[in-house]
Amino acid sequence: MIFPIFPSLLFAALLATSSAQSSPSSPPSSTWTEVTPTVASATTDLAASASPELSCNGSPLLCDRKYNNITYMGAHDSAFLHDASTGESLAGNQNFNATIALDSGIRFLQAQVHNQEGTLELCHTSCFLLDAGTLTAWLTKIRYWLDQNPNEVITILLVNSDNVDTSQFGAAFTASGLSNYGYTPQSPTGSSTNWPTLRTMITTNKRLVAFVTGITYTTTYPYLLNEFTHIFETPFTVLSLTGFNCTLDRPSGFPSFTAALSAGMMPLMNHFADTEIALNIAIPNLLDIKTTNSPSTTKTGALGLHAANCLAQWGQKPIFILVDFYDQGPAIDTANKLNGVTPTQNKPVPSTTTTANNTATTTHSGASLTRVSYATFASIISSVLVVIFLSI
């Protein structure tokens, strides 16, 4: 019986192909902002070094807006790169690492976390597919970036893929030094509209908001917040440029986005398109990536149009947006337009050529589609046929 085992063989071949193309589990230090740990505590001295005329998250206009009245452009699966450091890995969703993304104006970083023999690792779907190193090492680099940028407020969303305890995440944040920046809302166990302004968060040096899926709140780590206590999401498996919408996908406790918004939940708009081939295997629609990430409010499938539609339906702009390959578009233009600002302190978005041969994998705390390139898909099929032939 060959056909019943075909999906298993196909997945095995995908992993084998990925392993053959991947280099070591973490990017070389040359691709990151250099870090010289010891782990330093974030002190009020850093906050005091901020300019008297604040430019918060790149613009003075944002300083006196509440945290939940700003749109934060985010890098979906931000730890997983499609570049030379990973051997052009099949599982890469971004062209540039997290600190370069932050330099470019990205203020929302999402990543998947797995429990690898007791260590929290940044793994994409599986640690066999792509292991981007330990969570602690990644958080340390982000902590260093915050050390060097005292007027910036950022948000992290971690997908707790293996449902590990809050204490394990807390240990990683503490070891990295990033816990010192963690902001604890007045209502950490319930949604609220009573968030501080960026100016307040910068002045008090509590400039990190950290969400983790599937954790239980604890006063030991009060800054670690359960995502779906505070955020609702739109659908994240979209297979055509006409498929983007503003409906509530998660959490299931609300019947509609209207109910979620009324409860003070902050909306997260997922915006990345795939094309399914067969057997739950899909390729990212990179042929249209410049449209997908475009700020246009008239092009079908454009990021700008999706955001405008949600603004019209919700009566408020998206607070969080997640995109693949944020440098394309570039996606940050849509957030700037929604916020009504022209940031002057961000570095230029890096340029790269993203083609149909780029690859990625979608997994976002739910069902997944493995995303590969046309060339890789052909290679996988060939490998599977060889395995089937040898097993006959």
Answer whether 153's CB lies under 8 Å from 166's CB: no
* Range in 110-119, 305-314, 335-344, 374-383 with the lowest mean pLDDT: 374-383
Q: Do 112 and 362 form a contact (C-beta atoms < 8 A)?
A: no
When the pLDDT of each residue in the chain is averaged and rounded to a whole number, the result is: 80
Lowest mean pLDDT among 33-42, 77-86, 210-219, 305-314: 33-42
Inform me whether the pLDDT recorded for 178 exceeds 70. Answer: yes
- Active site (catalytic) residues: 76, 124
**CB environment 250-283: b (16+ within 10 A), e (fewer):** beeebeebeebbeeebbbbbbbbbbeebeeebbb
pLDDT of residue 310: 98
Q: Which residue has the higher pLDDT, 54 or 219?
A: 219
Superfamily of domain 3-29+55-383: Phosphatidylinositol (PI) phosphodiesterase (3.20.20.190)
- Tell me the per-residue pLDDT of 273-284, one tens digit each, with 9 for 90 and over: 877 766 676 556
Which pLDDT value is given to residue 53?
Answer: 76
CB-count exposure of residue 33 (10 Å: 0-12, 13-18, 19+): middle
245-264 pLDDT tens trace: 999 999 999 999 999 999 99
pLDDT tens-place string over residues 325-361: 999 999 999 999 999 999 877 888 777 655 444 444 4
- Cis, peptide link before residue 196, omega less than 30° from 0: no
Say whether pLDDT at 201 is over 50: yes
Domain boundaries, given as residue ranges, for the chain: 3-29+55-383
3-state secondary structure of 188: coil
Tokens linked to 235: 């659908």
Give the confidence band of 307 by pLDDT, cuts at 50, 70, 90.
very high
- What is the rounded distance in angstroms from the CA atom of residue 234 to the CA atom of residue 246? 6
Lowest-pLDDT range of 191-200, 338-347, 369-378: 369-378
* Confidence bin at 10 (pLDDT 50/70/90): very low
Q: Which two three-digit tokens encode residue 311?
A: 């603004």
Task: Determine contact, residues 190/229, Cβ cutoff 8 Å.
Answer: yes
Task: Tell me whether the omega of the peptide bond preceding residue 343 falls within 30 degrees of 0, making it cis.
Answer: no
Cβ pair 217, 166 in contact under 8 A: yes
Report the percentage of the chain scoring pLDDT > 70. Answer: 73
In Å, the largest CA–CA distance within the chain is 74
Q: Quick one: average pLDDT of 181-187?
A: 95
Q: Among 27, 30, 37, which residue's Cα sits nearest to residue 176?
A: 37
The mean pLDDT of 361-367, rounded to a whole number, is 40
Identify the pLDDT of residue 352: 65
**pLDDT value at residue 288:** 87
Burial of 20 (0-12, 13-18, 19+ CB in 10 A): exposed
Number of other residues whose CB lies within 10 A of the CB of residue 303: 29
Question: pLDDT tens digits, residue range 55-103?
Answer: 999 999 999 999 999 999 999 999 888 788 877 676 678 889 999 999 9
Inform me whether the pLDDT recorded for 371 exceeds 60. Answer: no
The span from the CA of 169 to the CA of 178, in Å, is 11
With 70 as the cut, is the pLDDT of residue 293 above it?
A: yes
